[in-house]
Structure 1
Amino acid sequence: MPVIPRFIMWGTHLITLVVPIVSAIQVTIPLTAPLGAAPLKGNLVSLSIEQDRWNDWAGMTEPNQFFNNVLDNFIQFTNTPPFVRIGADSEDHTDFSYDVEYEEDIFPPPSTIRPYPEATNITVGQGFYDIISHLPNGTEVHWGLNLREYNLTATYLETVALMNAFSSPAVVEKHIDLKFIEIGNEADLYHHNGGRNSSYNVHGYVSEWEKFAHNVSMTANLSQLSCTKLIGAAFAESSHNNLSGFSPQAIFNLGILESPAGQLINTISQHHYSGSFCTGGGAVLQDLMTKSYIRGNLSVFIPDIKATLANGLDYILGETNSFSCHGAPNVSNTAGAALWLLDYTLYATQIGISRLHFHEGIGYKYNLIQPLALNYSILDGSPIAPLAPHIQPAYYAAIIAAEAIGSSGATEAVEISIDENNISGYAFYEYSRLSKAVFINTIAYLSGAGARNSTHIDFSFTDFGNTPNNMCVKTLKIGYASDTSNLTWGGQTYETSDGRVSGPLIVDVLPIGSGVDLQDTEAILVTFL
C-alpha cells in the first residue's frame, strides 16, 4: 500500500517529510519452460556498424584493443561474440579501388543534429576488408554491398575483395565467418533519398535485387551448402508503416524466394527506430522508456515476422536503436536508454525476433560503445577536450542480457505476466528449468523528483519441481534516468580506460520468501538457487 506523507510541526513552521511510496506486487513464475518459450542465442544483442569508418572500429595496422575488450566482455558471459553487421547507409555509397589501401571518405559538414555525419562517398581497397581479421575469434559477420548506385562492376569488385578477406589465413585461423551478404540498405527509401525516381516500387526492387544478387552469388561461389547466405529485405519500415508497398510479404509474393539467388535467403532483416531526431526536438526520455511505447513500437512487425517464419526463415532487426539520425541528445545517451534497450530486446524475443543489431557510428549519441577518442561533443558538435574511448549507459543493458542468457547454449525466455504499467519481467530457463529472471522498472527518476519510489516483488511458482529457497540479486544502480555515466552493475563499472570491468562484485543473497525491492529507474537480475 502507498505510504501517505506525514506532517510535523517544528517551531512555527510546517515541514513535509517526503516519504517514498512502496507498492507491492506478486509475480508467478513457472518452474519449467512453458510451451512457446523463445530460444535465445548468446549474440541476441549484436551490433550494426556504419561502414564509412569501419577502419576506426577494427583498427588498421593493429586491432582496436578497446573495441575488442568490450566485445570480449560479452564472450565472458555467453562464450559467443556479438554478431557484427558492417553496412547501413554508407554501404550504398561505397566503391572499390585498387589504388586505395584502406579507405578514403568524403563527409558533409557536421551539424548540431548530426555532429558526426555519415560519409557521402567511400572508396575502399582490399585492406578495408582484410582488417576483419582484427575481430575476436569466432565472430560472425553480416556485410553490406552497394545496390543504390546500380553499378554491377563496383558491386563485383566489392564482392571479390570481401571473399578474398574471408578466405585469408588470418581470418580462417580465427574462425571469423561471413554469415550474410546484404545487397542494398533500406531500398524502400531510395525514392525518398535520391537513389531512384518517384516511380520506384517493390517490383523494380525485386528485379534489381535478383540481378545483383545472382551476380554476387556467382562471384562469391555461393550455394545451398555454403556457410554464407544472403539477407532478405533490409527495409527501413514495417509493412504496417510502409506506404510504398515494400514488405517481406510483398517480396515473397513476387517470387523472390524462388529465384536462383533468392534460394540463398534464410534470414529476413528489417530496420527500426523508436522515434526520429532528424529534424531535432521532440524526444522525451520517459516516453522512450515506457513499457507500452516499447511494445507498441515492436508489435507493428508481428505480421512481417509471422509471414517470415511461415516461410521457414529467421527474422532479425538488422539495424535498430532509439532515435534515427544518430539519437536524441540527453535521451539516447542516458541511463534511461539502457533500461529501454533491455526491455526492448527481451520483449522482441517474445514476438519472434531472434537477434537485434544496435546501430553504432563514430560519435553517434545512441552508441553502446565509443571506440576511439572524440574531439567534438556528440550532443551539438562543439569542440571538447579529447574524450578517450568509452562505453555509454546502453552497454550495461547488453551486459545484463548476456549474463541472463549465459553460456549453456540451451536458454529460453518468457515474459512474466505483470499487470503494472512500468514494471517488466522475464524468466530465463536453461535446459527447460528456471534459472534466472530480469525485472525492469521504467519509471524515469529524474533530478528534483523528490523521494525515489520502489516496488516490492514477491514470488510464487507453478509446475512440479524443486522450488528455489534462495536467490542472488544483482542490481543495475543508476543515480538518475538522465545520467550519462557512473552506473554500476553489481557494484562494478565498465566505465574504465580499457573497457574491462572493475571493482568488487556486490550481490545480495536473500531467501525467496523475503521478496525483492525494485526502485524506479532500476533493473535487477535474480538468479534462483
Structure 2
Amino acid sequence: MRADSAFLAGVLLSTCPAARCMVISVPSSAPPDSADVDPALVSLSIEFFAFPDYVTQLAGTANCIANLAALRGTSPAVRIGGTTQDRATYDASLAVAVNYTVGSPADAPDTLTYGPAFFELADQLEGDVTLGLNRQLNNQTNSLEAAQRAAQTMSNLFAIELGNEPDCTLYASNSPIVPEGMSWDPDTDAASEEAWFAAFAPMLGNIFQGAVYISWTVEDLLSRIGSGISNVKTVSRHSYPQSACGGASTNLEALMSHSGIVSYTSQFETEASATRAAGKPYLFGETNSATCGGGGISPTFGAALWIVDYVLQGALVGAERLYFHQGTISNCAYCFWGNGTVFSPYYGAVFVSRFLGDDGDRIAMLDNGTSAIGAYAAYAASDELLRVLVTNSNYFNGTGTRDNTTISITGLSTSRNGGVHLLRFTAPAATSEVDQGAAVTIGGGGAFNPTDCTPSGTQTMETVAIVEGVAKVTLRASEAAIVVL
C-alpha cells in the first residue's frame, strides 16, 4: 500500500526539527492491497558444486540458517543449483558427494561428478529443497537417474529444476542440448522443458520448477509450454539488479536506492500475476545484488540495506520466496557467510526477518516509492498491526556530513503511554564491510561471531515517545529501523 500523506505533511512539516521530514500514516489493520508473506520469504540458493563444502566445511552454515529460522519460525528454503548444475554428471558409484578438479580454490569446475552422498547431505537441511540438475548435456537418462535417487533419499525435496539460465550464453551453439543448425530461443527452450518434464513426470510426479530465466520473461514459457504446465510445480525468475561480469561497473548508491528498488521490482509484477493465474507459485529462484559474484558493492552495508528493501518489494510484486545465491566459497562478494566470516549482507537478511518475525503474515508499503525513504508495516494473520519498518537509503560513504531525516509515523494508538521501541540497523557508512572490521550492528551491539555465525553482543531498544498519536523517528542517511509496537 502506498500512503498519500500530503495533508498530514502540511500539518507537521513546520514542527519537524530535522533537515528533512516525511510523514507516514499507518493503517491499524492490514489494508486490502497488502501482500501475503511466505514463512520462507528469505531463502537461499547455493551453487551446485560448492554445496557439499557449504554444509561440511563451513562452521557458519548451520547457525546462519538456524538464526533465520528462529526469527521466522520456519527454516529458509534452499535451492541447490546454478551454472555448475549444467556441468555435472551423476555417478551412482561415486563414494564422495562431489568430485572435481580446479586450478585455484577461487575457480568453479568446468566438469564435475556427484554421487548418492550429495543427496544425503541435502536431506539434512531443515527447509524445502529445490534441486537443480543438468539439462545442457542432453543426457536424460543420467539426470533422471539422479532425480530418482534424490526423490528416494530426500524427505525435504520440494522441486526439481532441469537446467539453469538457458536464455544466457550458457546454452551456446555447441551445447549438446541445442539441435544442429538451430538457435536456442524461447520456443526451443519451452519445447525442451515440456519434453523433459513429460519424460520425468511418470517416475517423479509434477515436481518441476520451470523457466529459471534471467533475461527471458516467464510469459515466454507460460505462452509456449501448453499442457506441459501440468507438470510444473513452481516458476522461477532469476534476478540481479546489476552486473559485475566482464568488467562491468557496479554502483552501490543506485543499488540501495529505495525508489530504484521500487522501479526495478515493478517490472516483475505482470509475470508474477501471469504465474498466479496459471495456478503456480512465482519465485525469485536465484537472486542477489550483481551477477558474477557482485563486484565491489556486494559485501557492504549498503547491500544489506538493499536486501531489506528488496525482499519486501519482492513480496509486494508477488514473489513468494527470494533465494539469495551463495557462490564459490573463496570468491563470492555477495555471499552471506564464508570461511571464518559473516558478511554485511547477512545482517540485512536477519534484520528484515526480524521485522517480519514469526507472526508477520502480511505486509503493506506505506510510502509512494518516489523518495529515498521507505516505510512498511507488518500485520498478523488477524490483521493486527505488529511492526513498522523505515529505511533511509540516502547514500553516505563515510565522508562529509551525514544528513538525517525525521519520519513522523501517524495513526498510532495514544494509549501507548510508554511510547514505542525502536531497533536500529546501522553502520559507519554504506560502504562499511564487516569482514574489513567495520561495526555493522542491529540494536547498537547485536552482531554475529565470524567463525560460526552464532549471535554475539547485545541488542538494545531505543524508546520513542508517542505524542497525540505520532511517533517521530530520526534516521541518518544509510540507516534503517524497526518500530516495535
Same fold (TM over 0.5): yes
State the alpha-carbon separation in 1 of the partners of residues 49 and 63 from structure 2.
Answer: 22
State the alpha-carbon separation in 2 of the partners of residues 118 and 21 from structure 1.
Answer: 50
Q: Are 1:79 and 2:58 counterparts?
A: no
State the alpha-carbon separation in 1 of the partners of residues 150 and 158 from structure 2.
Answer: 12
Task: Name which of 433, 441, 456 aligns with 1:484.
Answer: 433
**Alpha-carbon shift at residue 65 of structure 1 (Å):** 4.2
- Please say if residues 389 and 480 of structure 2, whose CA atoms lie closer than 8 Å, have aligned partners that are also in contact: yes
Q: Are 1:498 and 2:452 counterparts?
A: yes
- Please say if residues 142 and 181 of structure 1, whose CA atoms lie closer than 8 Å, have aligned partners that are also in contact: yes
| Sequence identity percentage | 25
State the alpha-carbon separation in 1 of the partners of residues 386 and 18 from structure 2.
Answer: 30
Change (3 A) 1:467 1:321: farther
| Partner of residue 125, structure 1 | 115
**Alpha-carbon shift at residue 192 of structure 1 (Å):** 4.4
| Partner of residue 164, structure 1 | 152
Map residues 423-434 of structure 1 onto 2, 5 A cutoff.
Answer: 423-430=373-380, 431-434=382-385
| Partner of residue 17, structure 1 | none
| Partner of residue 51, structure 1 | 48
Task: Name which of 228, 234, 251 aligns with 2:212.
Answer: 234
State the alpha-carbon separation in 1 of the partners of residues 220 and 415 from structure 2.
Answer: 48
Task: Name which of 226, 246, 250 aligns with 2:220.
Answer: 250
State the alpha-carbon separation in 2 of the partners of residues 193 and 118 from structure 1.
Answer: 22
**Alpha-carbon shift at residue 351 of structure 1 (Å):** 1.1
| Cα deviations by residue, 1:187-213 (Å, 9 ceiling, x for unpaired) | 222544753366222222222222222
Amino acid at match of 2:389: V
| Cα deviations by residue, 1:370-389 (Å, 9 ceiling, x for unpaired) | 34x3xxxxxxxxxxxxxx2x
Task: Name which of 176, 188, 198 aligns with 2:167.
Answer: 188
| Partner of residue 345, structure 1 | 311
Q: Are 1:103 and 2:90 counterparts?
A: no
State the alpha-carbon separation in 2 of the partners of residues 205 and 526 from structure 1.
Answer: 47
- Please say if residues 368 and 393 of structure 1, whose CA atoms lie closer than 8 Å, have aligned partners that are also in contact: no
Amino acid at match of 1:391: V
Change (3 A) 1:527 1:272: same
Amino acid at match of 1:359: H
Structure 1 gap segments, 5+ residues each: 2-19, 167-171, 224-228, 374-387
State the alpha-carbon separation in 2 of the partners of residues 336 and 419 from structure 1.
Answer: 18
Task: Name which of 455, 459, 469 aligns with 2:409.
Answer: 459
**Alpha-carbon shift at residue 467 of structure 1 (Å):** 6.5
Amino acid at match of 1:346: L
State the alpha-carbon separation in 2 of the partners of residues 43 and 134 from structure 1.
Answer: 17
| Partner of residue 311, structure 1 | 278
| Partner of residue 479, structure 2 | 522
Query: TM-score scaled by structure 1?
Result: 0.81
| Cα deviations by residue, 1:202-244 (Å, 9 ceiling, x for unpaired) | 2222222222222322233x25xxxxx211111112xxxx4xx
Q: Are 1:199 and 2:183 counterparts?
A: yes
Amino acid at match of 2:34: A
Change (3 A) 1:193 1:255: closer
- Please say if residues 31 and 434 of structure 1, whose CA atoms lie closer than 8 Å, have aligned partners that are also in contact: yes
State the alpha-carbon separation in 2 of the partners of residues 148 and 468 from structure 1.
Answer: 60
State the alpha-carbon separation in 1 of the partners of residues 173 and 318 from structure 2.
Answer: 31
State the alpha-carbon separation in 1 of the partners of residues 230 and 451 from structure 2.
Answer: 46
- Please say if residues 155 and 216 of structure 1, whose CA atoms lie closer than 8 Å, have aligned partners that are also in contact: no
Structure 2 gap segments, 5+ residues each: 1-8, 10-16
Please say which of residues 483-492 and 64-73 is displaced more in the overlay.
64-73
SS of the residue corresponding to residue 319 of structure 2 reads coil
- Please say if residues 321 and 366 of structure 1, whose CA atoms lie closer than 8 Å, have aligned partners that are also in contact: no
| Partner of residue 371, structure 2 | 421
Change (3 A) 1:129 1:279: same
Task: Name which of 511, 514, 522 aligns with 2:465.
Answer: 511
- Please say if residues 474 and 508 of structure 1, whose CA atoms lie closer than 8 Å, have aligned partners that are also in contact: yes
Amino acid at match of 1:27: I
Backbone CA RMSD of aligned residues: 2.3
State the alpha-carbon separation in 2 of the partners of residues 368 and 437 from structure 1.
Answer: 27
**Alpha-carbon shift at residue 292 of structure 1 (Å):** 2.7
Query: TM-score scaled by structure 2?
Result: 0.88
Change (3 A) 1:472 1:193: farther
Aligned residues: 453
Amino acid at match of 1:347: Q
| Partner of residue 139, structure 2 | 151
State the alpha-carbon separation in 1 of the partners of residues 249 and 218 from structure 2.
Answer: 31
State the alpha-carbon separation in 1 of the partners of residues 402 and 33 from structure 2.
Answer: 37
- Please say if residues 30 and 379 of structure 2, whose CA atoms lie closer than 8 Å, have aligned partners that are also in contact: yes
**Alpha-carbon shift at residue 281 of structure 1 (Å):** 4.3
**Alpha-carbon shift at residue 468 of structure 1 (Å):** 4.9
Amino acid at match of 1:305: A
Change (3 A) 1:365 1:131: closer
State the alpha-carbon separation in 2 of the partners of residues 266 and 502 from structure 1.
Answer: 40
- Please say if residues 41 and 405 of structure 1, whose CA atoms lie closer than 8 Å, have aligned partners that are also in contact: no
State the alpha-carbon separation in 1 of the partners of residues 159 and 243 from structure 2.
Answer: 28
Larger radius of gyration: 1
